[in-house]
Structure 1
């Protein structure tokens, strides 16, 4: 059930080691196992980061101070081979640090950023993106825009339908975008659309004190990146239907499912449920169920692909029911289902049904009651408990932001953070 090439392995993991001749439903994981962190060369590929900081009036005080301190710390973590630009925006966009190697001059310039007026969010992103796009010396660099904002985009382009395609075009030119929303007032739908189109991360922070850790995590993620534009496609055999994708993800019009970046030490996982028709007159002992394709662009800009086939024995119903169920598959399916419950709760809140939204979060928490304890399950209980606390105190806008970022990151196999920005609780 595996296809191995070099050190990255695409594999399928069914919850039971066989299928039922009389027909059955079967949960399964599709995983792309990357090299362990210890196997990653210490001679990392250089990075080029455009940090785009909201300096609108609402950022005045501790938030802007923390943002500048985090950007300054990022400069100190870069190597001479790396490149950095810093852009600030209110209703006007300013290039605080032109694209250059890290320097004390850059640190000083960042410290001079002051708050201003409205929020030309897209224009700030565009200038940061163009600083990376137009630089001729970045052929060998991994490129990312890191956008930080605390407010609503109210100048320049503001619609998701206008902004997301342009972010997607930048991603096609190897410039990814991560979005950091700070506080309770930013437009999370816009940031989600940008992070999704830009194949980056989506982070919500209640407290600016975690900005430094988040900026550091962005750099570490780039350091561990093995490829971009990771996508999966399922080709089902005759008599097999895809009943459900447990991750809160949808296939595109071309049937590919987008997962973003491929990083060392991270195992992108798609959890699915298959519906398998009964065998008619066949007495097959083994049956091919599906073929999985994986594609991505390697850091050397060369296309990579893998293929794996799920092939399982066919047994009678009594034997099938007696087979053990893989707890790892059960756990991942449950975690992705709770992520999908978050997305459902967000939709219910958008429709004005806060009662049903509360029920969806409670149902997600109750679904963990019979789950075997593990670090992932215990973390999930804490996250859902925090969400219920927010809802019970009528902090619905904040709850929506937290649910959105957690659902986004879980679907793509990335670290989840609590509302204060911690990922190690």
Structure 2
């Protein structure tokens, strides 16, 4: 670096007139930022410094005898304010361990600003875009005198288009829960700091963020705070002051994140929790989770997007947390891809256009019953009379699609009725526009099927229906194979996957070259490879399969940073333009380490 570096890469503020430290790698920082960062690795290029500031020293041991001790960052005073910078004076202390009993200290929302945003959105027409709702039958026609017991109807939903700017989307309340236990030291923590910084920089002034860290216990770095220029600077300083030490108390981190969401005085339209951990819980989280000790977050219906970092995390626990809360589970095997995974997640969260979506299905014919609803991971219910049912979908990101399969019976049509078609089902949707608070109710036309005297070769199977059947069969096979593997029967698990691959290869959609079917086959093949041995399965096969089950069950892209073919499969299937755009922005970050060269290789016995 030949010229003067204007800003510190840790806190993103000016370095003029400040004490500066320059590493052997030529990257420069505020001296106090490097001091509080607490490690010997450059936060920009990850080079390990051979020479460090003379005041660098290991963090003091935590004071376990103090009830208020915070063992997860150094007990150093906050960096001095930069008085010539209007954004530098902190409004609250990041080093205050005296947490209130009630977390009602969230920063107030700007009601006038929110109102203006809604007005602007109505003016440019964005709020009038509605959910697209379509139905497809597995074949166009059934002979008039034929009866079918199990006939499939596809319900296809697509959310409105991507939002184009910060002022035309629903603001977000986000809580990030970060593992800073001892196993996160060094490069891992540096990567997480950078990835968290990327999230902070991409939030808007109306979005609010709170960061919770946990090791032996959990603590808030700061309350829910608007990400204005001032808020972003303080958030970056707080995150970059962290050091890793202690155990892994996931339960306490989750409990505190739920409390932040539950106690807030005001609420942005969209709310979510991001949880990252690289290790096994050391405080009997599993017992606490099973017995309801972490219900604060689940009762609030706040999705928890869990990121299992590396090969040593508890994949079953992390997946269970996300599944209960209707969040996502991402396996981040390639540690340097954590920023891309975070980017994809917030690309979705910052583009929510549908809230609380409920889908109702009703029989459109007195003689037709609903046999089953195949909705993947979404809660669904059939009424006892089999004449109606419902699916609880929740929130949708811009451009997201959802496909559900409904099985019905088709009765005979007697010749004297002279009917040319039979009505099967009708679909209705109810949801809220998160920006305008508008309640939207949609009703489809009846899904019908032609009833000629006979059908010919033109009565072919719908590829749209067939590929969704393949998706659901694959997800079921993944779960069955995982259960077999957990019972120590890897041979049977591999056989289950091999059998479903054969079924896929013979399907109409696969023979037509459907991209989803090709991606499913690649993913199933890689799952087989990750069952080469018990050790390989436990290292990467288990989290890989759980992430796949979660992905296809929710039809939502995860933080696909596993390497191998998985990233391509998930990207082709479920990524939205907003997600792709945010990931592209992450990869364009000059400080983002390369993450696309990773290839899965089974570990030798």
TM over 0.5: yes
Aligned partner of 1:286 in structure 2 is 421
1:253/1:291 Cα in 2 relative to 1: closer, same or farther (>3 Å)? closer
User: CA contact under 8 A between 2:424 and 2:448: conserved in structure 1?
Assistant: yes
Aligned partner of 1:396 in structure 2 is 537
CA distance in 1, matches of 2:294, 2:396: 21
User: Where do residues 13-412 of structure 1 align in structure 2 (5 Å cutoff)?
Assistant: 13-21=136-144, 22-24=146-148, 25-37=150-162, 43-100=168-225, 101=227, 102-136=231-265, 138-155=266-283, 157-159=285-287, 160-161=289-290, 162=292, 165-171=295-301, 175-236=302-363, 237=365, 238-243=367-372, 245=374, 247=376, 251-252=380-381, 256-279=390-413, 283=417, 284-300=419-435, 301=437, 303-316=439-452, 318-319=454-455, 322-370=458-506, 371=510, 372-394=512-534, 395-397=536-538, 398-412=540-554
Q: Give the stretch that moved more between structures: 13-22 or 37-46.
A: 37-46
User: CA contact under 8 A between 1:199 and 1:259: conserved in structure 2?
Assistant: no
CA distance in 2, matches of 1:308, 1:262: 19
User: CA contact under 8 A between 1:246 and 1:273: conserved in structure 2?
Assistant: no
- SS at 1:184's partner residue? coil
Q: Structure 2 residue aligned with 1:419, among 548, 552, 562?
A: 562
- SS at 1:103's partner residue? helix
User: CA contact under 8 A between 1:8 and 1:33: conserved in structure 2?
Assistant: yes
Q: Give the stretch that moved more between structures: 356-365 or 95-104.
A: 95-104
- SS at 1:170's partner residue? coil
CA distance in 2, matches of 1:32, 1:235: 16
CA distance in 2, matches of 1:142, 1:244: 28
User: CA contact under 8 A between 2:374 and 2:404: conserved in structure 1?
Assistant: yes
User: CA contact under 8 A between 2:159 and 2:398: conserved in structure 1?
Assistant: yes
Larger radius of gyration: 2
1:241/1:80 Cα in 2 relative to 1: closer, same or farther (>3 Å)? closer
CA distance in 1, matches of 2:269, 2:400: 21
Aligned-residue CA RMSD (Å): 2.9
User: CA contact under 8 A between 1:271 and 1:336: conserved in structure 2?
Assistant: no
Query: Structure 1: where are the runs of 5+ without partners?
Result: none
- 1:6 CA drift (Å): 5.1
CA distance in 2, matches of 1:418, 1:357: 24
- SS at 1:352's partner residue? coil
User: CA contact under 8 A between 1:235 and 1:290: conserved in structure 2?
Assistant: yes
- 1:224 CA drift (Å): 1.3
CA distance in 2, matches of 1:152, 1:303: 43
- SS at 1:86's partner residue? strand
- 1:253 CA drift (Å): 8.1
Query: Structure 2: where are the runs of 5+ without partners?
Result: 1-127, 384-388, 573-605
1:330/1:187 Cα in 2 relative to 1: closer, same or farther (>3 Å)? same
User: CA contact under 8 A between 2:135 and 2:447: conserved in structure 1?
Assistant: no
- 1:93 CA drift (Å): 0.7
Q: Give the stretch that moved more between structures: 308-317 or 99-108.
A: 308-317
CA distance in 1, matches of 2:465, 2:174: 37
- SS at 2:505's partner residue? coil
CA distance in 1, matches of 2:503, 2:294: 34
Give the structure with the higher percent strand: 1
User: CA contact under 8 A between 2:198 and 2:339: conserved in structure 1?
Assistant: yes
CA distance in 2, matches of 1:310, 1:61: 60
CA distance in 1, matches of 2:299, 2:432: 15
Higher RCO structure, 1 or 2 (CA under 8 Å, sep 6+)? 1
Give deviations 1:304-331, integer Å, cap 9, x for gaps. Answer: 4433354323425731764132222222
Give deviations 1:79-103, integer Å, cap 9, x for gaps. Answer: 2222211111112112123322342
Count of residues paired in the alignment: 417
- 1:388 CA drift (Å): 1.6
1:249/1:170 Cα in 2 relative to 1: closer, same or farther (>3 Å)? closer
- 1:70 CA drift (Å): 0.7
